[in-house]
Amino acid sequence: DIQMTQSPSSLSASVRDRVTITCRASQDISNSLAWYQQKPGKVPKLLIYAASTLQSGVPSRFSGSGSGTDFTLTISSLQPEDVATYYCQKYNSAPRAFGQGTKVEIK
Amino acid sequence: EVQLVESGGGVVRPGGSLRLSCAASGFTFGDFGMSWVRQAPGKGLEWVSGITWNGGYTSYADSVKGRFTISRDDAKNSLYLQMSSLRAEDTAFYHCARDGRGGGSYYSDSWGQGTLVTVSS
């Protein structure tokens, strides 16, 4: 099975900082990658699918890139409401594995 | 507005069985694939199972294969997860989720609040 590895596992950044989270697949998954945001006590929210397509209603400071095995989620200007854990998920085939998550905090 | 409401969680002994349900509303249920995703308290997300829009294809995580069965009833706008031979490591919140629109869109664009399954003696 394909494994998904996120880095870092956690990060602390200042408001308005540019934040980058990486997700690596153990095999080529083309662009079949999604990113989710989960705020404390809430259910996950879809941010990006097809590696770089922004879900409707998601702020434009979020962006995704990559294909094949290496993917990136970028928050161009971190806001206090972006405190959350972020997960990648591959969905080209079953099992649709998630990464282990990246916890983002404000410094 | 898409709404997904799970039910059927509870406390069950190891080796026992439980059936989860998910009531869907706010969209044409029969047009979408569906999934179950679980999250143990304080832990990350784990995809459990998925079913295509017509029920013609089902898939499972290795950790539940042979023990869990996903199904759907489009007439009742409902998704199910039959769980058997439950283990302590199955303890988690179980979320029902809707797949994206269109072929190959096997990500989850809407999520329910989840139902808690606790496996304990």
- Measured in degrees and rounded to the nearest 5, phi and psi for residue A91 equal -140, 20
Give whole-number Cα distances, B107 to A31, A46, B90, B91, in Å: 12, 8, 22, 23
In chain A, residues with a C-beta closer than 8 Å to the C-beta of B60 are 94-95
Distance from the B108 Cα atom to the nearest Cα atom in chain A, whole angstroms: 7
Q: How far A14 CA lies from chain B's nearest CA (Å)?
A: 25
Which of B119, B121, B120, B117 is CA-nearest to residue B37? B117
- pLDDT tens-digit profile of A6-64? 999 999 999 999 999 999 999 999 999 999 999 999 999 999 999 999 999 999 999 99
Q: A100: nearest CA in chain B?
A: B44
| Amino acid B104: pLDDT | 80
- Residue recorded with tokens 């990648």: A88
Both tokens of B65, joined, read 């294969």
A101 touches chain B (CB under 8 A): yes
| pLDDT 10s digits, B35-58 | 999 999 999 999 999 999 999 999
> Rounded to the nearest 5°, which phi and psi values hold at A14?
-90, 155
Chain centroid offset of residue B44 CA: 16
